[in-house]
Chains A and B, each alone.
Chain A
Amino acid sequence: MADKTMVKGNEAMAEAAIRAGCRLYFGYPITPQSEFTEYMAKRLPEVGGSFLQSESEVSAVNMVYGAACTGRRVLTSTSGPGFSLMQEGMSYIAGAELPSVFVNVVRGGPGLGDIQPAQSDYFQATKGGGHGDYHAVVLAPGTIQEAVELVHDAFDIADKYRTPVIILADGMLGQMMEPVVFGEFRNLESLSDHLSWSLTGAKNREPHKVTSFNIDPYELEKMNMRYQEKYKKIIANEILYETSNMEDADFALVGFGTMGRILGSVIRRAREEGIKVGLFRPVTLWPFPYDALREAVADKKFVLDVEMSTGQMIEDVRLAVGDSLPVHFYGRTGGVVPNPDEVLRVLKERIEEVK
């Protein structure tokens, strides 16, 4: 087995990006993700990469756009307020079909909010924070090990579909440390070169034009339908989720990312008390695992969705489950992280109602 390293989430994701073949980083410091930017500043020159601290997140996302135009792996990282500033560029990147990876280490909002962990950027990430008919793939890691692996996946998905991919983390995952086994360094030669469309100078070929622009509505509609075809393929091929203790469970907990892992503790304690409860944890938030969730909870008495927000993923959970069984919600917001005891208490209250 490869060596384990004790490492901070932000730094682990940054190292994973480098191992995945990312040699270009543009970003702006913001708590609680700044260690990501700092790590890249130190590490990228060591591997022949290019690091630039931009003047704003608005510029950072457009530098990502420019770098992605050249067909090379590029990443930026930020937190809520910075991610809001990036939404304009995100929309252009989706429209121009540029492979790129974004890490949002979410903090409490709205506005300046605070710097504690939150999941209240779910809508922004999954429903498209920018304008137009587009989606970004959204991956939600629950542990640092999973975050490292999803960073590799994120670049592969971005390249395969020419799409932006978001890693939706949170302040806890960014700031905490746990043992991690890093993946191998990707051979840069093995990466997709994107030479059929990228902007590298029109040598011995016709010039390439990469834009999100078409003034003719019929043509723009065609472009949009092409994006939708791509999204269908992503939905068919890329959905990820994890279930645990579901087979004999009477009740189902649903949570993603950090909340998903905390629910693991709730389930352990509940089962010690004889309560049969299981967990469904979506890993791709877009595409959302509607069918898998519906099937997983079909024979349960109820679903309890727990989030570090006032209830955002709950809308997708309800879409998946429909009216077939009750869907309850529990959330804390503003940077407050629900602890296992309080979730267990809420779970027991809901069970009492059923009795």
Chain B
Amino acid sequence: MPTVKTFKPPKSLSGKEFTYCPGCQHGIVHRLIAEIIDELGIQERTIMVAPVGCSVFAYEFFDVDGTVAAHGRAPAVATGMKRSLKDSVVFTYQGDGDLAAIGTAEIVHAANRGEKITAIFINNAIYGMTGGQMAPTTLLGMKTSTSPYGRAAENDGYPIHVCELLKETGGVAYLERTTVNTPQEIRKTKKALKKAFTAQLEGLGFSLVEVLSTCPTNWGMSPVEATEWLEENMKKEYKVGLFVDKVGDEK
């Protein structure tokens, strides 16, 4: 018997059209998160906290309860929710400006407290929504509208390594850096996301998945060139891999 498989969107996506640019990888990560929510059967108790940045509308794209936090404050908002509703599943979705610049204190302390929330961190080395300014994760030498001569360490400091920083905090239960450039990497990211949510469901502590992502628009490249640039440059600065795993292997 021939079987027909229909490609269906995950239940936990609202069906609202994404507002992202062509070649942007936010959409891939959104879909993966929604698939995990479906697979874990947690849609009815999930609350998402969207950031300020390109994904400011993310709360509209997921078919779960949601809000938008002030810039950088999503981990604090999520903390308030989780402390109020201990049975809820709370996740933040944050870009590099939101999480690693203005919201550094909030993410470090949420991680250190072992707050039972999950943060999805999209690192594309640039500010997207405001139009291509320098991010804390912008690579040295990389030109942006606020580093027009290229990021210089003596003026702008160095690209910040969030996973390396957070792995030293006691409250982290799961921490991994991935990419979504290839089908294999997408599958790997999905596994990481599942473990991150599982860490929360099992009450093990704070979890974060950093996804290295492209921003063709603000990098000034085609989507394909952007994936190549990510492979050649971002992966050198930001080593993909597992930093903390207190979840263990799937039973």
Taking Cβ atoms with an 8 Å cutoff, the residues of A that contact B are 24, 26, 50, 52, 54-56, 58-60, 62-70, 72, 74, 88-89, 92, 96, 199-204, 207-213
Please pick, from B43, B77, B81, B105, the residue contacting A202 in the complex, using a CB distance under 8 A: B43
A240 to B106, CA, bound (A): 38
Among listed B23-31, B59-67, B165-173, B183-191, interface-contacting one: B59-67
A-B contact pairs, 30 of them (CB 8 A): A24-B83, A50-B83, A50-B84, A54-B109, A58-B105, A62-B73, A63-B79, A63-B80, A65-B77, A66-B67, A66-B78, A66-B81, A69-B77, A70-B84, A70-B88, A74-B84, A92-B69, A92-B70, A199-B47, A200-B65, A201-B44, A201-B45, A201-B65, A201-B88, A201-B89, A203-B45, A204-B44, A209-B66, A211-B67, A211-B68
Interface string of B101-145 (1 = CB under 8 A from A): 000011011000000000000000000000000000000000000
Say yes or no for B181: interface residue by CB 8 A criterion: no
Q: Is B56 an interface residue (CB 8 A)?
A: yes
Query: By CB atoms of chain A within 10 A, which of B14, B64, B69, B76 has the most?
Result: B76
Select from chain B the residue with minimum beta-carbon distance to A54. Answer: B76
A207 touches B63 (CB 8 A): yes
Assess whether A62 is in contact with B65, with CB atoms less than 8 Å apart.
Answer: no
B65 and A208 within 8 A (CB): yes
Task: Decide if B85 is an interface residue (CB 8 Å cutoff).
Answer: yes
Report the bound CA distance from A16 to B14 in whole Å: 42
Whether A26 lies near B65 (C-beta < 8 A) is no
Q: Is A55's CB under 8 angstroms from B85's CB?
A: no
Chain B 37-76, CB within 8 Å of chain A: the 1/0 string? Answer: 0000001111101000000100110111111111001001
- When the two chains form their complex, are residues A68 and B45 in contact, meaning their CB atoms are under 8 A apart? no
Q: Give the chain B neighbours of A208 by CB distance below 8 A.
A: 65-66
Shortest Cβ distance from A283 into chain B, in angstroms? 29
Using known A-B contacts A202-B65, A207-B66, determine if residue A67 contacts B73 with beta carbons closer than 8 Å.
no
Taking a contact as CB atoms under 8 Å apart, the answer to whether A69 and B88 are in contact is no
Given A50-B84, A74-B84: A202 in contact with B79 (beta carbons within 8 A): no
Given A62-B69, A209-B67, A213-B68, decide whether A67 and B44 contact each other with a Cβ distance below 8 A: no
Bound CA span A200–B59, Å: 14
